[in-house]
C-alpha cells in the first residue's frame, strides 16, 4: 500500500456523491450515457437517501440562481428556439416530492413571459409574412395551444442550457408560464 500516490489518498477522502456528480457532468458533456431520469442514476450508482437529498439540494441551488433574471430567447440559438422572439423571467421555484419518493422529486418553475415586443414566426405562414405578435398567436383558437406548448419547451431548453447540472442530475422540471404586459 505504500505505492499509493498523494492524489489517490486525496480522492479517497472525497465523498462518494461528489465523485458521482463529477462523473455525471462528464457523461452529459460527452453524451456517453443517456440518463432519462433521476431513478436510473440512483439505481445505477446505488445512492443512499442522504446522497439523493444532496442531489436535490444541488438542483434547487441551480434553479434558485435563475430567479429574477431576465432571459431573451434570441440569445440562445443553440437551444432550438425556432421562430420565437420573447423575454421571460423566472419568478419562483418550488420543489415537491410525489408519494414521498425522493427519486420522483419534481421542480415547478414559475415563469412570466413578457409580451411587449414578443413575436413568433409561424411555419404555416406564407414566406415573407411578418412575425405574428406572440399574444395573438397564443389566443388563436386553432393553434394557440401548440404555441403555448412550444413556449414551455423553449423555456425548459434555456433553463437547462443555463444550468447544465440540471440535465446531468436528471432533474424533473415543469415550467408553469404566465403572460404579462408589464416590463
Within the chain, strands assigned E span: 70-72, 84-98, 101-120, 132-133, 172-180
Using DSSP, state whether 14 is helix, strand or coil.
coil
What pLDDT shows up at residue 14? 65
Q: What is the largest CA-CA distance in the chain?
A: 74
pTM of structure: 0.82
Q: What are phi and psi of 75, to 5 degrees?
A: -80, -5
Give pLDDT tens digits for 14-66: 689 888 888 888 776 545 455 567 888 888 889 888 998 899 999 999 999 99
Supply the pLDDT for residue 74: 92
pLDDT at 8: 44
Q: What residues does 173 pair with on adjacent strands?
A: 107
Q: Which residue stretches of 31-80 are H helix?
A: 38-45, 49-64
Per-residue pLDDT of the chain (183 residues; tens, 9 = 90+): 444 444 443 444 568 988 888 888 877 654 545 556 788 888 888 988 899 889 999 999 999 999 999 999 999 887 667 789 999 999 999 998 655 566 678 899 999 999 999 999 887 766 777 889 999 999 999 999 999 999 999 999 999 889 988 888 888 899 999 999 986
Q: How far apart are CA 155 and CA 68, in angstroms?
A: 14
Name which of 50, 84, 105, 96 is nearest 152 in CA terms. Answer: 84
Res 126: pLDDT = 67
**Cα dihedral: 20, 26, 28, 29 (round 10):** 160
Q: Parse the chain into domains and list their residue ranges.
A: 14-180
Read off the DSSP letter of residue 67.
Answer: B
Q: What is the pLDDT of residue 32?
A: 47
Residue 23 has what pLDDT?
85
pLDDT at site 11: 46
pLDDT at 97: 66
Q: Quick one: how far is CA 25 from the chain centroid? A: 15
Amino acid at each position: 500500500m505504500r505505492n499509493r500516490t498523494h492524489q489517490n489518498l486525496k480522492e479517497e477522502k472525497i465523498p462518494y456523491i461528489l465523485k458521482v456528480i463529477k462523473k455525471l457532468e462528464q457523461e452529459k458533456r460527452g453524451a456517453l450515457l443517456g440518463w432519462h431520469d433521476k431513478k436510473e442514476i440512483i439505481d445505477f450508482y446505488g445512492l443512499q437517501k442522504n446522497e439523493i437529498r444532496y442531489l436535490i439540494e444541488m438542483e434547487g441551488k441551480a434553479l434558485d440562481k435563475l430567479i429574477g433574471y431576465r432571459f431573451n430567447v434570441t440569445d440562445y440559438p443553440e437551444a432550438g428556439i425556432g421562430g420565437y422572439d420573447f423575454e421571460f423571467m423566472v419568478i419562483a421555484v418550488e420543489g415537491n416530492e410525489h408519494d414521498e419518493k425522493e427519486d420522483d422529486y419534481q421542480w415547478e418553475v414559475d415563469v412570466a413571459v413578457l409580451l411587449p415586443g414578443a413575436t413568433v414566426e409561424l411555419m404555416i405562414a406564407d414566406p415573407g409574412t411578418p412575425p405574428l405578435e406572440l399574444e395573438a398567436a397564443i389566443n388563436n383558437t386553432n393553434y394557440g395551444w401548440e404555441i403555448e406548448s412550444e413556449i414551455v419547451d423553449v423555456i425548459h431548453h434555456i433553463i437547462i442550457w443555463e444550468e447544465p447540472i440540471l440535465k446531468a442530475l436528471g432533474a424533473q422540471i415543469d415550467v408553469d408560464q404566465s403572460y404579462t404586459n408589464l416590463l
